[in-house]
């Protein structure tokens, strides 16, 4: 369980005086396709839960009227700031550029696709 406001990049949070291991130690950029064919890109620590939230109308305002959404790709990062930086950079690409990256991600890990094609991300990904 995550207590809002207490996760600061650490693997632990204090809850009711005890230390608890975070359930999610990784940070993700994810891309979903909406029912209208548009793409939505976001940050999450639990991608399946976030996609489920989008599909129940509890996710982003953008996706509420464009349900259901389908997960196209996700990339795992070693820090929140790096995942959010990649999200920002991915969002700035044209739709054609995004589609090209996503097509490559069908055949290799999305992390490697992003690392090669978005300069400056090398070394930002989790080592697993």
For residue 22, pLDDT beyond 70: no
Q: Give pLDDT, residue 29.
A: 96
Look over the chain and give the mean of its residue pLDDT values, rounded to a whole number.
81
Give the CATH number, domain containing residue 35.
3.40.1440.10
**In the predicted model, is pLDDT for residue 14 greater than 50?**
no
Distances from the Cα of 72 to the Cα of 6, 22, 24, 41, 65, angstroms:
30, 26, 21, 10, 19
Residue 90 lies in a domain: yes
| Residue 111, domain member (yes or no) | yes
The verdict on residue 54 lying in a domain is: yes
Q: 65: number of CA atoms within 13 Å, CB side? A: 2
122 domain residue, yes or no? no
- Domain span at 59: 26-117
Return the bridge partners of 13, or none. Answer: 20
Is residue 110 domain-resident?
yes
How far, in Å, CA of 86 to CA of 121, rounded? 7
Question: Tokens 């940050």, residue?
Answer: 43
- The yes-or-no verdict on residue 33 having pLDDT over 70 is yes
Residue 50 covered by a domain: yes
3 has pLDDT over 80: no
Which residue shows structure tokens 């069908």?
106
pTM of the model: 0.77
Helices and strands of the chain, counted as H and E runs: 5, 5
The phi, psi pair for 79, rounded to 5°, reads: -155, 155
Stated length of the chain? 128
């Amino acid at each position: 369980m995550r207590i809002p406001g207490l996760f600061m990049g650490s693997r632990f949070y204090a809850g009711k005086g005890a230390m608890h291991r975070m359930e999610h130690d990784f940070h993700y950029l994810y891309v979903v396709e909406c029912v209208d064919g548009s793409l939505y890109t976001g940050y999450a620590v639990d991608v399946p839960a976030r996609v489920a939230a989008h599909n129940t109308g509890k996710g982003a305002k953008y996706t509420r009227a464009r349900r259901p959404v389908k997960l196209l790709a996700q990339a795992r990062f070693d820090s929140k700031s790096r995942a959010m930086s990649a999200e920002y950079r991915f969002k700035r690409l044209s739709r054609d550029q995004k589609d090209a990256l996503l097509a490559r991600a069908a055949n290799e890990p999305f992390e490697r696709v992003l690392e090669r094609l978005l300069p400056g991300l090398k070394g930002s990904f989790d080592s697993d």
